[in-house]
Structure 1
Amino acid sequence: MLSSDTFWALVGLILFFVLIIAVGAPRKILGLLDTRSDRIRNELDEARKNREEAQALLAEYQRRRRDAEAEAETIVEEARKEARRLTEEANEKLRDMVERRTKAAENKIAQAEAQAITEVRGRAADLAIAAATKLLTEKISGDKANEMVDSSIETVRQRLN
């Protein structure tokens, strides 16, 4: 048994384990494993904390986006209302302007018509006077003719005015 290679390999292995235990390798290995598990735990805790922060930031940004969208919608709606109001105002001003111009044109037409009527009446009176004067001077002569002409002229003037 002492001469067997297997026996000496076993003895060497046992001595190796005893030496490792005597040097404190298991404690060091356990310490390293504990340190590593603590580091991993800390990294997991930090990752969890980072994840929570990221979720909080995401929620905040989503809330801000919703608020911004609502504000944009409000602004767009206000702009639409303002555009409708301005359109109605412009249409009202346009209607007023058209009405004023139509009335001005009607007034000008009425004035031109009145002026034309006055001119026609004046011409007619002048022609009537001239015709009456011509007829009366041809048919009646003397003082009687002058009286009739003056009387007729006065009557025509009174009726025209």
Structure 2
Amino acid sequence: MRFMVTALFVAAASPALAADYPFVSLRNTDFVVLVAFLIFIGILLYYKVPALVADMLDKRAVNIRAELDEAKALREEAMALLASYERKQKDVQVQADRIVASAKQEANDAAVAAKEEIAKSISRRMQAAEEQIASAQAAAIKDVRDQAVIVAVAAAKDVLAGQMNAKSAGALIDESIAVVADKLH
């Protein structure tokens, strides 16, 4: 109905009304166009085209609203997923920091243990070297004493051989047999 009133006002404001010949005439092109336009509008109204267009627009609006709601839901889901991944990333970063700190601590502990082991090894080697030196000194002292004993025995032998006669040799043998007999019994 609004369309018809609008069409009448448009027709009333047309320059055809200012013409000399009558407006309602088939010779007047403005009148013919107005009649054709009104028939066209009548056909559109008869077949309820404005209602169909309005229904189509309403359906499209409903579809768009549904798509917007779905997009909003997807956006919220994506934001939740992003927040979840950010939390996981922070957790992984904290865990990685702990692993790095633990590895550094283990490396420091291993370095300290290695230093202690090296110090112990050096101490053992020093002790072994000192023991070898002491053993070598003892062996050298023993060799010197043994050599001194051999030299002393040889010197004593030479001295005794020069002082020894048959009588003193017999007395010395008897005395030695007595000492051995006392020790054996």
Amino acid at match of 1:35: K
| Superimposed CA distance per residue, residues 80-112 of structure 1 (whole angstroms, 9 cap, x where no aligned partner) | 111221222222222212211221221122112
Residue matched to 1:21: 45
CA separation in 1, counterparts of 2:164 and 2:32? 185
- Within-5 A mapping of 1:1-161: 1=23, 2-3=25-26, 4-135=28-159, 137-138=161-162, 140-142=163-165
Matched residue type, 1:110: A
TM-score, normalisation: structure 2: 0.71
Q: Give distance in 1, aligned partners of 2:41 and 2:56.
A: 19
Instruction: Report the aligned-residue RMSD.
Output: 2.2
> Normalized against structure 1, the TM-score is what?
0.80
Which is helix-richer, 1 or 2? 1
**Of 89-98 and 18-27, the range deviating more from structure 2:** 89-98
> Which structure's CA Rg is the greater one?
2
Could you tell me how far apart the structure 2 residues matched to 1:66 and 1:82 are? 24
Greater RCO structure (CA 8 Å; 6+ sep)? 1
Identity of aligned residues (%): 37
Deviation at 1:145? 8.7
CA contact (8 A) 1:20 1:26 kept: yes
Q: 2: distance between equivalents of 1:73 and 1:121?
A: 70
Number of aligned residues: 147
Structure 1 portions without partners, runs of 5+: 149-161
CA distance in 2, matches of 1:86, 1:146: 79
Per-residue deviation at 1:60? 0.9
